[in-house]
């Protein structure tokens, strides 16, 4: 084999390996046994029984979940300083935090009685 071809082959292999290693990250999650079994079975049915099928399916699930929730969160206006926003809302009240807690407890009790 010529030296140039050998160099090209090694270079391509190393650059592919380098990009693959750079992109991988690990996340450990805990799910119910039946969810794990069904996920494994379906991942292998879709992506084959070879190495990496569960990772491909998990990545697809993560991307789907992120896309779905990012769209929902774009609709919500979250203030940069939530504590400051709450303080601003309560600034006009002449009650202490303890008085507000007692009032909230009374409101919850009335709602609970109405439900039952």
Separation CA 57–CA 51 (nearest Å): 12
DSSP 27: -
Q: What's the domain range around 116?
A: 81-116
Assigned domain for 61 exists: no
Assigned domain for 53 exists: no
Assigned domain for 42 exists: no
pTM: 0.48
Q: What is the 3-state secondary structure (H, E, C) of 29-59?
A: CCCCHHHHHHHHHHHHHHHCCCCCHHHHHHH
Assigned domain for 86 exists: yes
Helices 53-74 and 33-47, axial angle in degrees (round to 10): 110
Assigned domain for 97 exists: yes
Assigned domain for 111 exists: yes
63-105 per-position pLDDT tens digit: 999 998 888 878 777 778 877 777 777 777 888 888 988 998 9
Give the number of domains in the chain: 1
The proportion of the chain whose per-residue pLDDT surpasses 90, expressed as a percent, equals 30
């Amino acid at each position: 084999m010529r030296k140039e071809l050998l160099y090209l082959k090694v270079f391509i292999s190393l650059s592919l390996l380098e990009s693959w290693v750079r992109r991988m990250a690990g996340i450990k999650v805990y799910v119910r046994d039946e969810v794990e079994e069904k996920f494994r079975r379906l991942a292998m049915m879709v992506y084959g029984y070879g190495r990496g099928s569960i990772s491909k399916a998990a990545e697809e699930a993560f991307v789907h979940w992120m896309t779905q929730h990012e769209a929902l969160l774009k609709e919500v206006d979250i203030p940069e300083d939530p504590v400051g926003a709450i303080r601003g809302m309560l600034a006009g009240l002449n009650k202490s935090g303890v008085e507000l807690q007692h009032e909230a407890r009374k409101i919850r009790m009335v709602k609970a009685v109405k439900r039952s």
